[in-house]
Amino acid sequence: MSLPKLRRAATTVIAVGALASLGLTGCGSDSTSSDGGSATQGNITWWSWTPDNDLAAREIAAFNKQYPDIKVTYKKVPIDNYSALLKPALASDDGPDVYTVNASGSFSAEAFAPYAYDLTPDVKKLLGDDWQSKVYADGAKAFTVKDRLVAGQWAKVGAGILWINKGTFDKYNLKPPTTMDEWVSVCKTFRANGLGCLREGLAGTSGFVVDTLHSITDSVEPGAWTAAVARQKKWTDPGLVQSLQILQDMSTNGVLDEGSVGIQQYPDVNNAFLTGKVPMVQMGTWYQQYATVNSLTAALQGAGVPADTKKITILPTPFPDVAGKGNPPTMFADPDAGNSVNAKSKVRNAAVTFALWLGHTKEGQQVVADNVDSFPTLNGVGPNFDNIELVNPKLQRPALEDVSKRLGEATAARNVGTSAQLNQAIIDAAQAVVSGKSPSDAAAAIQSVADSEQK
């Protein structure tokens, strides 16, 4: 919750003063502070796949209240093309000054560490030598490569939930499904009325279906997914093969909409859900942004729908017990995003100021929290729902607060520990079983990749 106005004002003065007095002038080990330009003025570019443009604009506007002489230009790059576009840009002399990385996969902090400036001395000046105790521990670990802090974390994310269109469920007197049988029944009703049911985009490499398969596996055998990623269990073990079989069953029993292999989660599935054409999607905690009036309005405009299109009430709901074994639904969490500073940036010091402001100051993290997109990674900061305009606050606020609580209790990782190659193998396996291929063969293909990584 937000601080009282007087206390918030005092905190702002302290934080700005701290940033200025601590001299966030790019004093990391990669180069000296003398060749990075001013820490309080300049024009910087920021590349990322997240957040949406309207959310980034709010974050930049809040930053400019404290640093009016640093102009930040945001470039949102499609997630499927992000790694391919970022690498040559950074290899050149004209790449982005700040670029966001993930904790794992093809655009992880480790993958892009060679291009990154070491932020360790700067974050120590800002938060003290014990800075790691003041932030999300898994994020500090994920973005530290060979003792270099190559990205300043600013967003935490979780998955293991579904999102429903509450109005559509109410229209047909339906409740969110908790079992596979209930799910099939709910979908029959929707389809009988000309709607889809669960739409999932398996095309591309972004891998949202990995979350779905993870949730299925948690229903079959809790802990099996984590054990397989850690190579303590083979992907060909019965529980994991059964999980692939259940995913295949969902493509034939009417739960999963047809054509999933040919569509993408963004923009196809996202637009279909937000415009009311599909009543249910599998998305993570980042999707809660569309519970807010501002973000949903911007998303509908981006989808090209009429301005008077009715805003839907989206609600999170636990992933159903599809295995029928009574295992409780779980969530899994990751550090989602960290901002790296291009070591070759001509305005490196201003870039350092922005990167650390967003993730390591109360002011920066408060605007991240209030965007209701990602969860903040600085300890003690959370969304101030009193200042957030929800579409249906009576229903959505308690639901979002519950998700926040469940995310805080999550112990399993979402993607951390999963290599880009293994992640792609899981996506390929999911595409294969949805297309009718053998779950056993698909599991063997994943295991083959896992084996090759151990050689």
Q: What is the pLDDT of residue 308?
A: 84
Q: What is the pLDDT of residue 306?
A: 87
Domains of the chain as residue ranges with CATH: 5-156+336-383 (3.40.190.10), 161-330+398-454 (3.40.190.10)
- State the pTM of this model: 0.84
Q: What is the pLDDT of residue 31?
A: 39
Q: What is the pLDDT of residue 10?
A: 30
* Cis, bond preceding 335 (omega within 30 deg of 0): no
Contacts of residue 314, Cβ cutoff 8 Å, sequence gap at least 6: 163, 164, 165, 166, 273, 287, 290, 291, 391, 396
429 SS3 class: helix
Nearest by Cα to 89 from 51, 118, 47? 47
For the record, the structure tokens of 370 come out as: 């209030």
Q: What is the pLDDT of residue 307?
A: 79
Q: What is the pLDDT of residue 66?
A: 98
Please give the Cα distance from 79 to 38 (Å, whole number): 32
pLDDT lower than 50: segments of the chain: 1-18, 20-34
Q: What is the pLDDT of residue 172?
A: 98
